[in-house]
Amino acid sequence: MFEVVIGLEVHTQLNTKTKLFCDCATSFNHKQNSNTCPTCLALPGALPVLNKEVLHKSIMLGTAVDATVNRTSFFDRKSYFYPDSPSAYQITQLYTPVVEHGTLVIDFEDGTDKSIRINRAHIEADAGKNIHDGETSRVDLNRAGTPLLEIVSEPDMRSAEEAILYIKKLHSIVRYLDISDANMQEGSFRVDVNVSIRPKGDEKLYTRVEIKNINSFRFIQKAIEVEVQRQIEAWEDGVYEQEISQETRLYDQVKQETRSMRGKEEAADYRYFPEPDLLKAIITDEMFEKYSKIPELPDEKRARMISEYGMRAYDASVITADLEMAHFFEAMLEEGISAKNAVTWLTVELQGRLNKGGHNITNSPVDAASLGLLVKRIEDKTISNKAAKEVLDHMMENDTDVDTTIDKLGLKQVSDSGAIEKIVDVIIEANPDKVEQYKGGKEKLLGFFVGQVMKASKGSANPQAVNEILKQKLS
């Protein structure tokens, strides 16, 4: 009976070498306030100069989401006071942003998809950081003036699920383009969620609440759910007008509730005006040509994997969602192994072990070439599937290579038919009654013989060879 309406604002910190308007470095794990200069400290008289790299990355994003890239865009001043912003204003793009009118397609698990419109992406400068430490608060301005691209969607999402799909897709695109680290925990990919509800069938937009600073997919999902619940309850209790107002709220992970942070300002409160210290930002034909040639995007990579390797759509989605995962997978294939085995060994065997050990694909103790070689050793029948799991376990803990580990653990399969035949003969001799029954038609007993031979070989015999030799000897 109610419909959920969600619009998202995503701040991506662009991974440029230097800041937006000065040549200070953008890395923040340096000593506090060491990456600063008169411009990003907003000392009187210091003038901003636009970093062109920011335009390059904006062109890439605009191209990736099929948007209009404005060849001329302008900067505006948004006035507000906060200790982490010494200028008492933020330089942003309100009236003519660099990117407008894009779309991003989200894919549902059942194979259907939906287009979400992107209203705009604009360039703006980040603020510094306030560090609260007991009674004292300090300000670190290393981050002040770092370039952000704020990507603003239309209110097109209708559930927490759709919002998460949108954020994951956008995150993946940004990583593929390599325009941002997009690290949510470190704050280089920050999502503000705007949520409202309305009676189903109603076209008008109701009051939106903005939830800020949620730093994981899981908490975003949860925050939306509890906020929607709060609004629905207010409506049903007849207190919607009183309780729901346009404001910024924070999500409390422990209490699982949203709490008012501050009333929402209207644009007029910020006294926006054209930034007088900067020229317009111009994208030349040459610049556009160069940076609109973007690398393969997740959707294209996915389609290619399906057609090139005959992969299942689901597997291809899992592999391509994350650029590191896709690279790892493609590097495994260089060992000449089947895509199907590569998927299993990457997403089930390796991923499972990484999760357990608190690792991820970027710091995996076993690299792609090694995992690929391990799969190759199964495919060329050097070891069994079961033995390969043991090898992988060992390699996760020890810095050794595949073949050395196989030797060390004595897991090499015996495919040499002479050796297997000898064992088969012994087993047949030891079980004359079973041989009789088998020959009398009880073919199920083959499993028993295979088991005995495998056991006698301590698991090292190649089961396929054992099967063939047994059949031959018993007939």
Residues in the site for Mg ion, rule: CB under 5 A? 9
How near is the Cβ of 27 to Zn ion at its closest, in Å? 13
Strands in 186-269 per DSSP E? 189-199, 209-214, 247-252, 257-263
How near is the Cβ of 7 to ligand ADP at its closest, in Å? 2
Q: Does 194 sit near ligand ADP (CB under 6 A)?
A: yes
The distance between the two most distant Cα atoms of the chain, rounded to a whole number of Å, is 101
Q: Does 121 sit near ligand ADP (CB under 6 A)?
A: no
Q: Would residue 76 be called left, alpha or beta, if left means φ above 0 and alpha means ψ between -120 and 50 degrees?
A: beta
368 binds, among Mg ion, ligand ADP, Zn ion, none (CB under 5 to 8 A by kind): none
Count of residues engaged in binding Zn ion, rule: CB under 5 A = 5
User: Which residue's entry shows tokens 């006294």?
Assistant: 271
Residue 436 burial class via C-beta count within 10 angstroms: exposed 0-12, middle 13-18, buried 19 and up: exposed
Find the part of the chain contacting ligand ADP (CB under 6 A) among 3-11, 63-71, 104-112, 467-475: 3-11
Q: Which residues from 17-56 bind Zn ion, rule CB under 5 A?
A: 22, 24, 37, 39-40
**DSSP structural state of residue 88:** S
How near is the Cβ of 82 to ligand ADP at its closest, in Å? 16
Task: Supply 427's token pair.
Answer: 């087993």
Q: Which of 128, 48, 146 is nearest to 86 (CA)?
A: 128
208 binds, among Mg ion, ligand ADP, Zn ion, none (CB under 5 to 8 A by kind): ligand ADP
How near is the Cβ of 90 to ligand ADP at its closest, in Å? 11
Reduced to 3 states (helix: H, G, I; strand: E, B; else coil), residue 62 is helix
40 binds, among Mg ion, ligand ADP, Zn ion, none (CB under 5 to 8 A by kind): Zn ion
Q: Does 161 sit near ligand ADP (CB under 6 A)?
A: no
Q: Which of 124, 128, 125, 175 is nearest to 28 (CA)?
A: 128
Q: Does 7 sit near ligand ADP (CB under 6 A)?
A: yes
* Distance separating alpha carbons of residues 344 and 144, to the nearest angstrom: 45
Find the part of the chain contacting ligand ADP (CB under 6 A) among 10-18, 152-160, 220-228, 451-459: 152-160
Task: Supply 293's token pair.
Answer: 């040639």
Q: Does 319 sit near Zn ion (CB under 5 A)?
A: no
Q: Does 97 sit near ligand ADP (CB under 6 A)?
A: no
Task: Supply 334's token pair.
Answer: 């260089």
CA distances from 297 to 84, 104, 170, 178 (A): 36, 12, 11, 11
Member of 5, 118, 366, 373 binding ligand ADP (CB under 6 A): 5
Cβ atoms within 10 Å of 107's Cβ, excluding its own: 17
Q: Does 6 sit near ligand ADP (CB under 6 A)?
A: yes
Which residue has the closest beta carbon to ligand ADP?
A: 7
Q: Would you say 23 or 407 has its CB closer to Zn ion?
A: 23
Task: Supply 258's token pair.
Answer: 């949203």
Task: Supply 169's token pair.
Answer: 């897709």
Using CB under 5 A, list all residues that contact Zn ion: 22, 24, 37, 39-40
Using CB under 6 A, list all residues that contact ligand ADP: 5-9, 152-155, 194-196, 205-206, 208, 210
